[in-house]
Amino acid sequence: MSLPEILLWSELRGGRLGGLKFRRQHPFGPYVLDFYCAEKRLAVEVDGEAHAHEDRPEQDRIRDQRLSENGVITLRIPARDVLQSVDSAIAVIREALWPWRPNPPPRGGGVGP
């Protein structure tokens, strides 16, 4: 594992993120996912500089599409972002796991019966 992956794994392992279990280097069909939460069907990929060059962006797009067709959401986080702030990277993952939803309108107000 790369340094950004090691740093992120130290925050994801052992149910440290809301009790959810993550697996590292998880095989999924022909792919190996950096981190995978089966309960939420979320793959977290830590992308180094190589992902921005040559045909890698297109390969990643195809891979993400194939995972999506199998019900897996892929969250890509640049390795440099993890190195700058592991806490910020965890916040991005947390948002993907538990998306913000607006509060419902107050009772007796708003539109409806």
User: What's the whole-model pTM score?
Assistant: 0.82
Please say if the pLDDT value at position 23 is more than 90.
yes
Residues of the chain with pLDDT > 70: what percent? 84
Could you list the beta-strand ranges (E) of the chain.
23-28, 31-37, 42-47, 73-78
Across the chain, mean pLDDT equals 87
Domains of the chain with bracketed CATH: 3-97 (3.40.960.10)
Cα 19 to Cα 97: distance, rounded to the nearest angstrom: 12
